[in-house]
Amino acid sequence: STSDRAIANTSSCVTGNVQGKQHETVQSHKPYFLAVHCQEVGGKNFEESMSHVDSFVKELLSSDAMKEYSRARLYLDENYKSPEQFTALGSFYFIHESLKNIQQFDFKAKKFRKVVGREICSETLESTPSLEKEKFPQEYFPECKWSRKGFIRTRWALADCAFDLVNIHLFHDASNLLAWEKSPSCYSGNRQKALGYVLDRITDQRYEKVPYFVFGDFNFRLDSRLVIESLCPTAIMQTCTESSTGEINQLIFRESDNDRKVVLLLEKKVFNYVNQDVFRENNGTSLLKFDRELSVFKERLHELEISFPPSYPYSEDSSEGKQYMNTRCPAWCDRILMSPSARDLVLKPENEEKSIVYDNIGPNVCMGDHKPVFLSFRITAGAGKPNANKHKCCVVQ
């Protein structure tokens, strides 16, 4: 996956890891259709780093691993000089030369068009007919002065089956202290509102309804209140306040005995827990019970079983590929979700279970602060027809 932060990282080591691991994934699964969704194209310092994106894209397109993908559509929102519209999203789609029956939807003409050649679109995505792009209104996340959060939607027809692919970036937790105050947190409500808006938008009456896949950085977090109670069941909490304002700026959780050892240090941007192994052992799945934000959408969105560790926040030190930063509670922020009809496509009886893979990329190497995830599956062409062909797809977040 072209991890958003790694695109902007000037370290050749990190960028090389991202491209190398994407190439390994492509060569391993050999998809006919490859969809890659990126967030924060250009990185956190996009004014300085956006120039690196173009060289990254050129290197990606010219790589040996991608030479058999003769058709491509790359959509990059690089126009940071237009803050009212800038989302920093990037949606990349690659079609293998052997795949003949592939079309893309024109939202203005309301019809599908044959995909020919390779095209790169940037800056003026608002007027590009092959996609829909929206940025969330500022009031959706009032704690932040300025946000790049939004979504990009494209529609494809593959193997006699039409489906939408939605690249999404939802709001983060601005403060660990505020997230801890109640269960569920106020940030969870902001994400719920924005995701509900996207689902309503892509299923409204403007276009025919089709199966859809929504994948990106949802910024889903574990329920902070509950997970801290679980991690520090017998700890005594000490509250520290700002002398000038009296506001709480630090929470210290100490063991009641054992020399009052600090178990957890919590600040606005600090989550320093004594034992990171809990997030890695058995892929951290013991904590999945605190991953609750998707439950609100259980009738509209489905997900395959998670069998990989929390995807965020990993160290950006190139020598610490498996280490989490002590900034946020590790969580499964990066997800690939699907509508009930899309799930039926993935889980068709004729699809062998071994052909469906939902996993992360580069588990042991630095990929940036997010670890990309991918879903590989097959779509049967002309389902129910004799001698139906199977086309392998891979969607990457």
pLDDT at 83: 84
At residue 21 the predicted structure's pLDDT band, cuts being 50, 70 and 90, is: low
69-108 as b/e, with b when 16 or more CB fall inside 10 Å? Answer: bebbbbbbbbbbeeeebbbbbbbbbbbbeebeebebbebe
**pLDDT above 70 for 287:** yes
**Over the stretch 66-77, which tens digit does the pLDDT of each residue have?**
999 999 999 999
| pLDDT at 312 (0 to 100) | 98
On average, the pLDDT of the chain sits at 88
Whole-number Cα distances in Å, 54 to 82, 167, 284: 19, 20, 36
The answer as to whether 259 is a domain residue is: no
Q: What are phi and psi of 234, to 5 degrees?
A: -115, 10
- Per-residue pLDDT at 159: 77
pLDDT bracket for residue 19 (50, 70, 90)? low
Residue 241 placed within a domain: no
Does any domain span residue 232? Answer: no
Place of tokens 């910024």: 219
Within-domain flag for 256: no
Q: What is the pLDDT of residue 386?
A: 38
Q: Is residue 247 part of a domain?
A: no
Angstrom CA distances, 49 to 8, 10, 52, 125, 257, stand at 5, 8, 6, 20, 49
The answer to whether residue 242 is domain-embedded is no
pLDDT of residue 209: 96
Overall pTM surpassing 0.85 (yes/no): yes
**Tokens matching residue 378:** 């097959």
Give dist(CA 321, CA 365) in Å, integer: 4
Q: How many domains does the chain have?
A: 1
For residue 77, CA distances in Å to 62, 71, 73 come to 21, 20, 13
Structural domain harbouring 146 = 4-221+275-396
Inter-residue contact 240 to 248 (CB < 8 Å) = yes
Residue with the bigger pLDDT between 323 and 147: it is: 323
Lowest mean pLDDT among 79-93, 270-284, 327-341: 79-93
Tell me what pLDDT residue 350 has. Answer: 67
DSSP secondary structure letter of residue 161 = E
Binning pLDDT at 50, 70 and 90, where does residue 150 land?
very high
Q: How confident is the model at residue 199 (pLDDT cuts 50, 70, 90)?
A: very high
pLDDT of residue 138: 78
Q: Is 167 exposed, middle or buried (0-12, 13-18, 19+ CB in 10 A)?
A: buried
Q: Please check whether residue 265 lies inside any domain of the structure.
A: no
Whether residue 384 has pLDDT greater than 70: no
Answer yes or no: is 227 within a domain.
no
The predicted structure's pLDDT at residue 80: 86
Instruction: Residue 358: give its domain's CATH number.
Output: 3.60.10.10
Q: Read off the pLDDT of each residue in 350-369 and give the average, rounded to a whole number.
A: 86
Expressed in angstroms, the distance from the first to the final Cα of the chain is: 6
Tokens 């610490």, residue located = 320
